Amino acid sequence: MFDLHFSDRAVEGNYAITCWAIKDGVILGETKETIAIEKVGLSHWFTYMAQHHSAVYGIITVVIAIMVGLLAGFIFKGKGGH
């Protein structure tokens, strides 16, 4: 078994794939498999929260945005701006 890595933008689901072994333009073999694409880790958590608990997700994103804004203001305090 091996892991394939896809973009975070890949749509979750089961996909039917066909693989061919080709040498010198001749098909030597063929196999068909089904692969499952699923998000893992933090990406999975954010996707799950956004789809199933949108109010909580919205509150969390607003809190994170405020915290990042305050942190940026603290770091760059007195370094220009308005």
80: pLDDT strictly greater than 80: no
Asked whether residue 19 is domain-assigned, the answer is: yes
Asked whether residue 25 is domain-assigned, the answer is: yes
pLDDT score of 20 = 94
Asked whether residue 2 is domain-assigned, the answer is: no
Q: Using a pLDDT cut of 90, give the percent of the chain over it.
A: 56
Asked whether residue 8 is domain-assigned, the answer is: no
pLDDT score of 79 = 62
Cα angle: 56, vertex 37, 58; to 5 degrees: 10
Q: Indicate the average pLDDT of the chain.
A: 88
- Per the structure, the count of domains in the chain is 1
Asked whether residue 5 is domain-assigned, the answer is: no
Identify the three-state secondary structure at position 39.
Answer: coil
- Residue 61 corresponds to which tokens in the numbers above? 């994103």
Task: Return the beta strands (E) in the chain as ranges.
Answer: 13-23, 26-37
Range of the domain at 24: 13-75
Q: How confident is the model at residue 78 (pLDDT cuts 50, 70, 90)?
A: low
16: pLDDT strictly greater than 90: yes
Asked whether residue 64 is domain-assigned, the answer is: yes
